[in-house]
Amino acid sequence: MRLALRVCVVLAATMWRGAVGAAQTKVEIINDVGAKGPCLGIGLGMAIVGKCVSRAEKEGFVRENEVGTDGLTIGTTGAEDGVVTAVSPGSPGATAGIAVGDRVVSVDGKLARWTPAMEVARQTFGEKGKDVRLTVKSATDGAERQMTFARGQAPMPAGAPSGSMLLPLLPLVDWRGRFVPCTAAGPMTPATFAICEKLFRPWGYVRAKDVGSVGFALDAGRMDAAVVTSVDPGSGAAGVGLKAGDIVVMVDGKPLGGSAGELARSRMFGRAGETRIVVVERGGKEMTDKVVLGKKEG
């Protein structure tokens, strides 16, 4: 997945009004799903670029010219989903001993496959007041039922970054709780925030203060099904009859199931020089490899 977006735009218009051709500083940053854009400063606003980059790096972004490579190609569909399909000769992956046909099991202790609970969390994430549509298998009689209800107000996501009077910040957040610190300065602040939000919204980002709650919890440890463990009293989910023990089968008519290969690639993402501990399955046996991300050419 690739997204050309302006993660953090700094327009110090009050400082450089009329300064046509003023000096610019721009740092391209990118994250593990390919969300990409510049931290930009013009004129005296250049001093703010460092703050923009620092904030973005705390949320998992990396300067584009520092992104590392493992030299692996991992399948994302069908029988090759999550399987290494190519290894560049002499690459970090090759040096670590990873071979074509290996299936990626985990990276740095995190599974390289979607659990049902993860998939439901991703698909049901969104703004308060908006509808959630579930297909649920009843724990009582095994029948499947369609349930539609509105998200309630969720608490402010933990760790949401904040700005200041001189450097306002609009935090956007995705289903993982990862933030995009849209930052601006001067009279262009409202327009800059609008642009940032418009570009991120199609990718599931919402304003942190507008995050909705689905009103139920799932068994995060189950690998076979998305089993409801509790339902908040008074929530929309409770109102339509969702109960503990019910199983979420589909969201918005779509079966659960994400690409293991895409998740593995996301987990491998990082800065050149960083190390990833990769567990792969080969011939029915698991092997642990240490991959030191190399510098990309060009």
Query: Which CATH number goes with the domain that contains 229?
Result: 2.30.42
Residue 269 within a domain: no
| % of the chain at pLDDT higher than 70 | 89
Per the CB < 8 A criterion, the answer to whether 5 and 61 are in contact is no
Tell whether the model's pLDDT for residue 295 goes beyond 60: yes
Distance CA 109, CA 130 (A): 35
Whether residues 199 and 282 share a domain: the answer is: no
Q: Are strands 206-207 and 169-173 parallel, antiparallel or unpaired?
A: antiparallel
Q: Span 54-70, mean pLDDT?
A: 91
Whether residues 142 and 218 share a domain: the answer is: yes
Residue 117: name the closest of 223, 206, 39, 21 by CA.
Answer: 223
Per the CB < 8 A criterion, the answer to whether 164 and 174 are in contact is no
> Phi-psi bin for 204: left (phi > 0), alpha (psi -120 to 50), beta?
left
Chain Cα centroid distance, residue 102: 25
pLDDT of residue 7: 40
Residue 266 within a domain: no
pLDDT tens by residue, 202-260: 778 899 999 999 999 999 989 999 999 999 999 999 999 999 999 999 999 998 988 99
Higher pLDDT, 104 or 27: 104
pLDDT tens by residue, 248-292: 999 999 989 889 999 999 999 999 999 999 999 999 999 999 999
Tell whether the model's pLDDT for residue 12 goes beyond 50: no
Q: Which of 57-61, 124-128, 169-173 has the highest mean pLDDT?
A: 124-128
Whether residues 127 and 221 share a domain: the answer is: yes
**Phi, psi of 267, rounded to the nearest 5 degrees:** -70, -25
- Domain termination site, one of 193, 210, 227: 210
pLDDT tens by residue, 30-46: 889 887 777 766 554 56
Q: Span 43-59, mean pLDDT?
A: 74
Whether residues 80 and 217 share a domain: the answer is: no
Q: How confident is the model at residue 6 (pLDDT cuts 50, 70, 90)?
A: very low
Whether residues 60 and 186 share a domain: the answer is: yes
Distance CA 192, CA 46 (A): 16
Whether residues 100 and 194 share a domain: the answer is: no
pLDDT of residue 126: 96
- State which residues form the domain around 109: 71-114+274-298
Whether residues 54 and 37 share a domain: the answer is: yes
Concatenating the DSSP letter of every residue in 105-158 gives: EEETTEESS--HHHHHHHHH--BTT-EEEEEEE-TTT--EEEEEEE-EEPPPPT
pLDDT of residue 11: 35
Domain tally for the chain?
Answer: 3
**pTM confidence score:** 0.80
Q: Span 130-157, mean pLDDT?
A: 96
Whether residues 56 and 186 share a domain: the answer is: yes
Residue 147 within a domain: yes
